[in-house]
């Protein structure tokens, strides 16, 4: 296995030890949760990119779900027994919207667009959370929020158009995979907040994986992943190492922390983790030789500015 992967695994295991040691303090502090999540998820985009070197998008997405599911279901098995029967339909829905489809969509997106650009587009989540909250969950809104949404969407358009001009060899229609994922993330946040608020965070997360893991295994078998020539390829093994990091921490641990964050805060604050994620992702992208222009950074700033306006208004409405 690549030495960089081994070093990364050691570093992440150390971080896991520190998390376990101070877990109670972290669980009670929404700011600690949002900082940890921004670092984990901000690094996920480059891990997806590295995983795609030896794996197809379908293989990466399926492996990510299966590895994460094994960890989460294994840790949360006891809590699964405590899940109320009425909550299972929402757990299944949250599993597909919050994990299953986005795992494949982000992998497909990064076959054509840079990881840093994908992270910038992901900053749309808080805006989409407001839109879906208004349209589907009857959350009140005002002119400031509408303005914020319009500014954020304009930043998205500039980001995509500029990216297409400086990277003509990349297919920026694949940005739609990221945008579709932000819609699903937004729906998932509102579902968890409204219908799964009082469930144990680990049990909640395990429940969302219980039904999607079999589907992911079916996809993995369909891709021919278990053929001997695939499993013995060094390139594939290195990619699996990156996906293992992505799965255990970028999906399994992060999902538990995020569900906890939703429960102790509000949907808009929870999705504000996307404010910081692009900073981390751009850092990794630049180290990996990706091209980021000033116009793209300004476009990302427009997105975040729109999110700020939406979030500022939403916070004033809190009791």
- Find which of 84-88, 212-216, 231-235 is predicted with most confidence, using mean pLDDT: 212-216
Calculate mean pLDDT across residues 100-109.
95
The mean pLDDT value for 182-200 works out to 87
What's the average model confidence in pLDDT over 112-120?
Answer: 82
pLDDT category at 178 given cuts 50, 70, 90 is very high
According to the model, what pLDDT value does residue 124 have?
77
Read off the pLDDT band of 15 (50, 70, 90).
low
The larger pLDDT score, comparing residue 231 to residue 110, is at 110
What does the pLDDT read at residue 318? Answer: 44
CA dist., res. 243 & res. 238, Å (int): 9
Query: In the chain, where are the structural domains located?
Result: 32-123+171-287
148 vs 181 pLDDT, higher one: 181
Angle ∠(212,218,224) on CA atoms, nearest 5: 140
Identify the band that residue 198 occupies on the pLDDT scale cut at 50, 70 and 90.
Answer: confident
The residue with greater pLDDT, 102 or 231, is 102
Average pLDDT over residues 309-314: 60
Q: In which band, very low, low, confident or very high, does the pLDDT at 193 lie, cut at 50, 70 and 90?
A: confident
The yes-or-no verdict on residue 7 having pLDDT over 70 is no
Q: Looking at residue 37, what is its pLDDT?
A: 83
| Residue of 59, 102, 71, 107 lying closest to 240 (CA atoms) | 59
C-alpha span between 293 and 210 (Å, rounded) = 42
CB 192, CB 146: distance < 8 Å: no
Q: What does the pLDDT read at residue 31? A: 78
Question: Is 234 exposed, middle or buried, given 0-12, 13-18 or 19+ CB atoms closer than 10 A?
Answer: exposed
155 vs 224, residue with greater confidence:
224
Average pLDDT over residues 8-29: 55
Six-digit token string for 259? 């569900």
Angstrom distances, CA of residue 185 to CA of 95, 129, 156 = 10, 8, 17
Taking 80 as the threshold, does the pLDDT of residue 290 lie above it?
no
Higher pLDDT, 7 or 245: 245
**pLDDT range class, residue 140, cuts 50, 70, 90:** low
Quote the tokens at residue 78: 């006891």
Residue 24, pLDDT score: 58
DSSP letters along 81-145, please? TTS-GGGHHHHHHHHIIIIIHHHHHHHHHTTTS-HHHHHHHGGGHHHHHHHHHHHHH-----HHH
Q: Residue 23's pLDDT is what?
A: 56
Binned at pLDDT 50, 70 and 90, residue 1 comes out as very low
pLDDT at 158 over 70: yes
Determine contact, residues 32/97, Cβ cutoff 8 Å.
Answer: no
Least confident of 87-91, 100-104, 276-280, 307-311: 307-311
pLDDT digits (tens, 9 = 90+) for 31-73: 778 788 888 888 888 889 989 998 999 999 999 999 999 988 9
């Amino acid at each position: 296995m690549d030495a960089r992967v081994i070093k990364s695994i050691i570093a992440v295991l150390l971080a896991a030890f520190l998390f376990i040691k101070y877990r109670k303090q972290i669980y009670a502090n929404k700011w600690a949760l949002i900082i940890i999540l921004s670092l984990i998820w901000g690094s996920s985009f480059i891990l997806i990119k590295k995983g795609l070197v030896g794996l197809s998008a379908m293989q990466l997405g399926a492996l990510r779900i299966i590895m994460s599911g094994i960890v989460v279901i294994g840790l949360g098995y006891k809590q699964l027994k405590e899940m109320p029967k009425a909550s299972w339909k929402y757990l299944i829905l949250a599993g597909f919207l919050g994990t299953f489809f986005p795992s494949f969509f982000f992998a497909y997106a990064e076959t054509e667009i840079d990881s840093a650009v994908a992270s910038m587009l992901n900053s749309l989540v808080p805006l989409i959370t407001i839109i879906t909250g208004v349209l589907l969950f009857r959350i009140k809104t005002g002119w400031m929020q509408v303005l914020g949404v319009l500014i954020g969407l304009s930043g998205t358009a500039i980001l995509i158009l500029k990216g297409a001009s400086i990277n003509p060899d990349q297919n920026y229609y694949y940005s739609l995979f990221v945008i579709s994922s932000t819609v699903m993330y937004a729906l998932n946040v509102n579902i968890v907040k409204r219908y799964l608020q009082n469930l144990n965070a680990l049990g909640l997360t395990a429940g969302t994986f219980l039904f999607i893991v079999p589907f992911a295994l079916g996809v993995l078998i369909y891709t021919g992943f278990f053929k001997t020539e695939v499993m013995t390829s060094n390139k594939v093994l290195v990619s699996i190492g990156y996906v293992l990091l992505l799965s255990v921490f970028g999906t399994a641990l992060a999902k538990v922390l995020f569900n906890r964050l939703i429960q102790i805060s509000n949907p808009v604050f929870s999705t504000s983790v996307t404010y910081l994620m692009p900073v981390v992702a751009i850092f990794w992208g630049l180290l990996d030789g990706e091209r980021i222009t000033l116009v793209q950074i300004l476009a990302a700033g427009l997105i975040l500015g729109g999110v700020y306006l939406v979030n500022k208004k939403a916070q004033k409405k809190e009791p």
